[in-house]
Amino acid sequence: MLDYNGFSAWVTVDDAELPIYGVEVDHHQNRVSAWIPSEAGKSFTVHWKDNNLTSHSAGYVSVDGVNCGGRVLYRHGTGETTQRGVYTSATTLRPFMFSSLNLTDDDSYLGSASSENIGEILLEISWIEPGQKSVLAGTKVPEAEKVHERSKKATAHRVGFGAEKYEAPQHGISVTILRKIATFVFKYRALDMLKATGIVNNAGPSNARMARLPDSEAPAPPQAGQKRKAPEPPVKEEIDEEEEVDEEGIEEELKALQARMDAVKAKKNRGGKRIKSETRKIVSGEVIDLTDVSVKTGKKPLKIMPGEVIDLT
């Protein structure tokens, strides 16, 4: 596990955390990197956690230079999330998978930009302001290209994408990036190659705690209404909100709805004959239909026209 600026990140295969080696830290770029072993044919998951929950944040994952969307962590949520692959639609996902590199001696592939970032799993974390939810369009997964055998990347693996799997419906969300806070880079190679290059030795995995920035040096989260010199434009990202929900926001909405219903009942009771009512608890996510309620008040029934708005306050 890597720790930096109040966040932790790690990669798992078969629900087991992969060991890390050769941790390097760049405090000027807020960037920490390490090596992890890869095995062709194995699916993997990227995990991260906000250890402080002082502000909303978003993590954006890319593999081999391919943007794979991200997740939002709300400051009132659990503080932890994962990314297992790329959503190709609102209900389908292709999981991350270590794959064998397809080499070629065709010089037309020499210097290809697509091979520049092969061998890296990147996680960028920023403080954000959540915006409007939207329909999840999904991401088209690029086909794996061949890599020239003389490429400077000395690796036998790359990240591929498994067969599509059905998932519970997801949605997108528009966010405003306030400040980038940390970048985690997991450089993957076959274990034999890590041993051959001396990255893995008898000393064992690295001590991840060496990557932690002292709390006195960590930047503070943005305050409400705080101005920035160079604001960044809103960025639409795809998130899995099934795993991370703003619980406090939902509770406030339920309280406000309950208060409004209580006020309507009190107003009716003061207006004349007391009406027998049934108390009912409101469950998060429940939809209440008020269009088919009839009340015997002795007055003419109120006709509701399509599109008409009725103020019950």
Are residue 210 and residue 288 in the same domain, yes or no?
no
Q: Are 135 and 172 in contact (CB under 8 A)?
A: yes
Backbone angles phi, psi at 248, to 5 degrees: -65, -40
Q: Are 14 and 228 in contact (CB under 8 A)?
A: no
Between these two residues, 174 and 204, which has the higher pLDDT value? 174
**Residue 100 domain boundaries:** 2-244
pLDDT tens, position by position, 297-308: 444 444 444 444
> What percent of the chain shows pLDDT beyond 90?
43
Mean pLDDT for the stretch of residues 19-36: 96
Are residue 180 and residue 214 in the same domain, yes or no?
yes
Specify the number of domains making up the chain.
Answer: 2
pLDDT band at 272 (very low <50, low <70, confident <90, very high): low
Mean pLDDT for the stretch of residues 141-168: 78
Q: Are 17 and 48 in contact (CB under 8 A)?
A: no
Distance in angstroms (rounded) separating the CA atoms of residues 191 and 35: 10
pLDDT tens, position by position, 193-207: 999 989 998 556 765
Between these two residues, 33 and 264, which has the higher pLDDT value? 33
Mean pLDDT for the stretch of residues 286-311: 44
Q: What per-residue confidence (pLDDT) applies to 269?
A: 75
Are residue 258 and residue 281 in the same domain, yes or no?
yes
pLDDT tens, position by position, 107-130: 655 655 556 778 999 999 999 999
Are residue 62 and residue 83 in the same domain, yes or no?
yes
Of the residues 244, 263, 297, the one at which a domain ends: 244
How far lies 116's CA from each of 47, 151, 183, in Å? 24, 9, 18
Q: How many CB atoms lie within 10 A of CB 172?
A: 20
Q: Are 35 and 194 in contact (CB under 8 A)?
A: yes
Least confident piece of the model among 134-143, 189-198, 242-251: 242-251
Are residue 187 and residue 257 in the same domain, yes or no?
no
Are residue 237 and residue 193 in the same domain, yes or no?
yes
Q: What per-residue confidence (pLDDT) applies to 138?
A: 84
What is the chain's mean pLDDT, rounded? 76
Are residue 136 and residue 268 in the same domain, yes or no?
no
Q: What per-residue confidence (pLDDT) applies to 286?
A: 43
Tokens of 273: 């004959």
Of the residues 220, 244, 268, the one at which a domain ends: 244
Of the residues 244, 272, 305, the one at which a domain ends: 244
Are residue 97 and residue 204 in the same domain, yes or no?
yes
Q: Are 109 and 64 in contact (CB under 8 A)?
A: no
Are residue 110 and residue 218 in the same domain, yes or no?
yes
Are residue 262 and residue 172 in the same domain, yes or no?
no
Between these two residues, 130 and 215, which has the higher pLDDT value? 130
Are residue 148 and residue 189 in the same domain, yes or no?
yes
Are residue 255 and residue 119 in the same domain, yes or no?
no
